[in-house]
Amino acid sequence: MKFNTRIIYRLLCLIIGLTVHATGSSILREAQLGVDPFTSFTLGLSSTFHIELGLIHILVNGFFLLFVFLKRRSDIGVGTLLGMVSTGFLIQYISPLLKPLHLSQNLWVMGLALIIGVAMFSLGTSFEMLSDLGKSPYDSVAPIVADNRHIRYRYVRLTQDIIIAILAFFLHGPIGIGTLVCATCNGIFISTWRRLLKKTYLYQKHIAPHTK
């Protein structure tokens, strides 16, 4: 019974993570601040090849999924597949819902949108990781490389995001200050969120693995 209860909380953690993650990206997109590197990359591909964002997310994540499968297939779980399939479509459908807020109307609103968007993006990613049901293929790459090369996660994530941001630039994806902040600070923000979330009662009581 405890196992089933824990699974429910982990699934809830995953769903919250995916939704918050996508909402953060959508806020940055609608504020015209540039989105996180991976979304910018997929948006660039989407506009270049005229394929809807949700499908592009699946195709690109499929490439990263192959890497994860070859290097550490134990990381693949329901969260991996759900993140791979849902994130692009969530951004695609959440973004229009934010248009009435006019997030790009002035610098003050854009500044607030930047803070909230980046915070939500990194928080959502942290929830996904803590669910321990498998991260999205893109988010799985940095932890695998960090463990194999014995390098701190935040530095690997920084390098990964910068490379993808450069590719997004050449594909004319939406690049802006939001992209820069995500590319340079996501590793730090995600590490900080994970550390804080692990201290919460909900995580320690219902989500964290318990050993006898």
Look at residue 3 in the predicted model and tell me its pLDDT: 53
Determine the Cα–Cα distance for residues 66 and 126; give it in Å rounded to an integer.
22
CA distance 134 to 139: 10
**Model pLDDT, residue 1:** 45
As a 3-state breakdown, the chain gives helix, strand, coil percent values, each rounded to 5, of: 80, 0, 20
Is this model's pTM higher than 0.85 or not? no
Confidence at residue 44, expressed as pLDDT on a 0 to 100 scale: 94
User: What pLDDT is attached to residue 67?
Assistant: 92
Q: What letter would DSSP give residue 133? A: S
Q: How many CB atoms lie within 10 A of CB 54?
A: 18
pLDDT tens string 190-209: 889 999 999 998 888 888 87
Give the pLDDT confidence score for residue 132 in this predicted structure.
Answer: 87
Vertex 80: Cα angle to 127 and 122 (nearest 5): 30
Query: Residue type for 93, please?
Result: Y
Helix runs in the chain, H state only: 2-30, 37-49, 53-72, 78-98, 107-130, 137-149, 153-170, 177-197, 201-202
Q: Are 45 and 171 in contact (CB under 8 A)?
A: yes
Predicted local confidence at residue 99, as pLDDT: 94
At 57, phi and psi to the nearest 5?
-55, -45
Residues in the chain with pLDDT < 70? Answer: 1-3, 210-212
Distance of alpha carbon 142 from alpha carbon 82, whole angstroms: 19
